[in-house]
Structure 1
Amino acid sequence: MKFERIYCHRPNKLIGSFIEVQIEENDFPYVVDLLPTAQSHIIYFFSDVKHEIKINNKSFFNKGLVISGQSYRSYQFIPKKPVRVFVANFSATTLHKVLGKQMSSITDSHIPLSEFCNEFYEQINPLFNPDKTAKEIALDFESLMYDLPKIDNKNVNYVDIAVDLIHQKKGRITVDELLEFLTISQKNLEIQFKKIVGLTPLKYIKLYRFWHLMKAYESNKIDFNQALEFYNYYDLSHFNRDFKLFMKIKPSEYVKRDNFLIRKYLTI
């Protein structure tokens, strides 16, 4: 397997990074559990066959351009043959700003981009020339994203502030604490957050906290015992419940697995 991460040419709040993964013949049979990163994604499968993503026991089969909404739990990638996959990782509010769509409609989904927003599909599909390198595609994608018009209103601004606070606190914050910084009711925040991001504020907080914990663990900055206190877990039982909620396995099972792809996209 080959893995490459490409960072944006200039810092921005639209795109987190780009990833290219190449699954090769000697990787098969191949099934991998992926941890959601609290982002939405545009994915391109350079393939003539459809590949499987399984979320909550529901399978999505896709090739070409795919849009991926937020997911709350780990999901499986099951390629059917060797494949090159390019992924654009977007900040939580980016796709709503660009597409003007309700992101909760594609939560826990991987669907053809042409079905969700054909106009955007027509704009970006020409970027994916198989003769281009990942870095060339990423640079063209980044330039196109800067030039697109974007929604900017008070509800988007409220959600942007909330997301920034969650990130600054590494998920160690409550919804009540978020509201101290916002002139918006809890009910309205929950409605707008789910519409713009795809998850409720509470689910996003819990997911981001766990994602950040796993990032620290896979970067060898912290072990699971240290994580209990730093990430505000009451006790080991509380941590184990969250771990199984997000990863669908126990921590003791996780450490015995080959987590190459998760480790790569969490630590690079």
Structure 2
Amino acid sequence: MEDSKGIYAEERIAVPDEFANVFSYFYTARNDSAHPVHKTLIPSFQTIIAFNFGSPARVRFGDNALWVEQCIVLGPLKRPIEYILPPDTHLLVVNFRDDAFYRFFGPVMFSEMIARHPDELLEKSCFSELWLRLKNESPHRRPGLILDFCRPYLRPRDAAFECITEARPDYVRMNAIRTIAQETGQSERNVQLNHKKYLGYTAKERSRYQKFLNALRMSQGISGKADWHQIAEASGYYDQSQLIHDFRHFMNVSPGQYLKFQAGICQTAS
């Protein structure tokens, strides 16, 4: 998408079928204006890698703030992230699907959100070298080069995660862990551990997020007054106050404020 002056542009780039269960898409944002661009990224429960090929971008989450000069891993994205693109900033963001981050980086402690240079996770300079190569290439070639880089490192999906994904649990209407355990003959404790290990979050966290996401999708595009009571009920909430609480938790705004400012809010979930 490009503004009327042609000075700020953002775009989603599809990935080939070979990587359909690895990445949701690539996202690019370029600020060629004379002023900073402020954006909010709402939670997606995905983990992302952001490459920057221009002026350092500022990222803020909670009480933490940092500058992205080359590349950074952020995730799983459970809370909103505010970011500022100064003039001459060019971002390229890779969105991992499901267990793809685990398949690439291996087991990582997910006690809190990761916000680190990817080389720190690998204890190698692979991504610094990749960033340098990407910087010297044209923007339209960069996604393909990233896919080529990832191909030899991606491990096959573990059978333990296949049990989770094949069950296709309904996180809103049922106990997902219990359902998976019953269908696969595992203990609930084992399913819980694998869920956190491969995805980076618990089923309880996912259930809460899924209800919020349902409400968000129902409210998108509403320009007038929304029936929040009806939206809350249809999304699986007990009452409207619970919906309001989750909007503030996941986005730092009320439902009404979201409708007013949704043009400046980005979403990575597919």
TMscore range, shorter length: 0.7 to 0.9
Find the residue that maps to 1:104 and give its secondary structure.
Answer: coil
Residue 207 of structure 1 and its aligned partner are, at CA, apart by: 1.9
Percent of aligned positions with the same letter in both sequences? Answer: 16
Distance 1:189 1:223, change over 3 A: farther
Distance 1:230 1:10, change over 3 A: same
Contact 1:39 1:91 in 2 (8 A): yes
Contact 2:39 2:264 in 1 (8 A): no
The 1-side partners of 2:145 and 2:174 are apart by 37
The 1-side partners of 2:129 and 2:166 are apart by 29
Find the residue that maps to 2:78 and give its secondary structure.
Answer: coil
Contact 1:172 1:231 in 2 (8 A): no
The 2-side partners of 1:209 and 1:246 are apart by 11
Residue 41 of structure 1 and its aligned partner are, at CA, apart by: 0.8
Greater alpha carbon shift after TM alignment, 69-78 vs 35-44? 69-78
- Asked if residue 79 in structure 1 is aligned to residue 80 in structure 2, the reply is no
- Asked if residue 138 in structure 1 is aligned to residue 143 in structure 2, the reply is yes
- 1:37: which partner in 2? 44
Letter in 1 for 2:198: I
- 2:256: which partner in 1? 252
Q: 2:160 aligns with which of 155, 164, 173?
A: 155
Greater alpha carbon shift after TM alignment, 108-117 vs 89-98? 108-117
The 2-side partners of 1:2 and 1:78 are apart by 14
Find the residue that maps to 1:181 and give its secondary structure.
Answer: helix
The 2-side partners of 1:126 and 1:239 are apart by 44
Number of aligned residue pairs: 257
Contact 1:42 1:66 in 2 (8 A): yes
Distance 1:219 1:161, change over 3 A: farther
Contact 1:97 1:151 in 2 (8 A): yes
* 1:228-249 residue CA offsets vs partner (Å, 9 max, x unmatched): 2332111211211221111122
- 1:23: which partner in 2? 31
Residue 226 of structure 1 and its aligned partner are, at CA, apart by: 4.3
The 2-side partners of 1:35 and 1:27 are apart by 23
CA root-mean-square deviation:
2.9
Residue 219 of structure 1 and its aligned partner are, at CA, apart by: 5.4
- 2:203: which partner in 1? 201
Find the residue that maps to 1:2 and give its secondary structure.
Answer: strand
Contact 1:179 1:186 in 2 (8 A): yes
TM-score (norm 2): 0.81
Find the residue that maps to 1:230 and give its secondary structure.
Answer: helix
Please list, as runs of the form range in 1=range in 2, the aligned pairs for 1:108-119 lying within 5 A after superposition: 108-117=113-122, 118=124
TM-score (norm 1): 0.81
Distance 1:97 1:103, change over 3 A: farther
The 2-side partners of 1:170 and 1:18 are apart by 27
Distance 1:67 1:60, change over 3 A: same
